[in-house]
Amino acid sequence: MKLNKRLLYTGCILSSVSLIAIATLLDGCKSNKPGKVYKLTTDTIADGKNLAQMHCTKCHSLVPVDALTKDVWTMHALPAMAKYLSIATYGADYYKKEGDTTGLSLQEWQRIVNYYKTLAPDTLAAAKPPVPLQNDWAGFELKKSKPTSEISFTTLAAFNPANGKIYTSDVMGSDLTEWVNYKPVRTAKLPSPAVHANFGIDSAAAGQFMLSSIGRLDNVDFPNGRIVKAYAGNAGIIKTKDEYTELPRPVQTLNADFDKDGKSELVVLGQGHLHGGVYVFKTNGAGALQQFATVSDKPGAVQAVAGDFNSDGWLDIMVLYGVNDESLTLYLNNKKGGFTAKDLLRFPPVSGSTSFQLTDIDHDGQPDLIYTCGYNFRDSRILKPYHGMYIYKNTGNFDFKQSWFYPINGCTKAIAADFDRDGDIDIASIAFFADMKNKPAEEFIYFEQNAAMKFTPHAIPVSQYGRWMTLDVNDVNKDGKPDIILGNYASGFLFQPNFEPAWDEHMPFIVLQNNH
């Protein structure tokens, strides 16, 4: 089955472009449309600042001049952004057509370049953590999976509460592996590696679960992702069935009854690259998935949760977008089969938003926001002091105000739970793009909350066992306490020069058993 063709880019595969430039979506960036005419002054720096504010914010939040270094601005970000403003630069000819009033003049463009080139710093100073890391096991015990003969490229490591088993997927084998007592017991082939498992679908009682098979792991517009159902077959094998095909890099599914017909719909996040979206599917009379609604045709979705956020009795969707126009957006159910968008937060496109969770950290009855940012494998591959984990207090009606920040280079996920069973919320975090040369300990940090909004960060010494792309929290040994599962993507995606990995490349995953 295929996604509605109007939602897909069917041309050639696109190469990766700058984090700044990808805000423009090929359908035509809004900054390419005629607007207010700016009158240049004798102050070139002020002109550059004003022109950047005027044009760049039509596509995304403004990137502060000090968010990137001078070299990154002039050699990567600005050249990639130029073409979206009808400018060719750095050795190419100016290609604006006769009579074309979109984009900028060369004079205006040069003012923007001069602004960033003049005021951007030569280097970005590292952020100083408010509390130093403690190197200890913090009440956890290491459990290792059986090593494999091949290098591990784990994209999924998740625990299924329905049967008490761990499931992994690997890029090289494009497979699904079931583990019991940290040993592989059976596998199944997938069309492409799975990056998310939904164990809570309606047919979960029958041993079925849904997989997001991404297609291409790299950021390209090549819609060959699939939603795959996995279930137990005869003779101890795992069987799989394609539920929907030709999706733009699906990274998550969630199911909920949005139309109140007593049956769950399936929401699919098609992250895509320059094209993607958030889609709702229903099961038709023949038992097959059928597209029901398009929540958004905006690419870059990384995570979603469902809930009745406005307390009207109808389920809504909250989505985090991690590329292009980065934002946390609430889609309110209009009770007619559609959704109305409301941006809760917007982030500059150098943030690399990666995950979020709603939880009442301060015990005031309002769900607060834990937000991480740190995807760092686009053109601006430098350590960024604003990457890390943030807590936003919910002051009412999901009006979020930042109340806490801990810098973590390349932070990619955080999950909150009361790990030590003292009544406070603690947090586990991973950083796939950590400063592995100088601070490998930040690849996994356990934040123990000892008093209201007072956290002790524990650098649990596991960096030697792998590089953690995935994080899951579940009661693996069924003792009533949340354990932590870390999936090892052992090779590739290196962004620091002159760095040779020293971690175990053959350990698919580890478990941190909670002994509190």
Average pLDDT rounded to a whole number, residues 46-58:
91
Domain 134-514 top-level CATH class: mainly beta
CA atoms 408, 412, 418, 419: torsion sign: negative
pLDDT (tens digit per residue) in 274-302: 999 999 999 988 888 999 899 999 999 99
Specify the pLDDT at position 89.
53
Cα Rg, the chain, nearest whole Å: 23
> For residue 285, which amino acid is it?
G
Taking 60 as the threshold, does the pLDDT of residue 26 lie above it? no
Q: What is the structure's pLDDT at 30?
A: 42
Q: Are 104 and 86 in contact (CB under 8 A)?
A: yes
pLDDT digits 0-9 by tens, 316-327: 999 999 998 999
CA 394 to chain centre: 22
Domain ranges of the chain: 44-119, 134-514
Q: Which two tokens stand for residue 180?
A: 């019991």
pTM of the model: 0.91
* pLDDT for residue 378: 84
What is the average pLDDT value for the chain, to the nearest integer? 89
Half-sphere exposure of 183 (CA within 13 A, CB side): 2
Q: Is 226 in contact with 245 (CB distance < 8 Å)?
A: yes
Query: Is residue 411 over pLDDT 50?
Result: yes
333-346 pLDDT, tens digit each:
999 999 999 999 99
What values do phi and psi take at 381, rounded to 5?
Answer: -85, 65
Residue 467 carries which DSSP code? -
Give φ, ψ of 441 to 5 degrees. -65, -25
Q: What is the pLDDT of residue 13?
A: 24
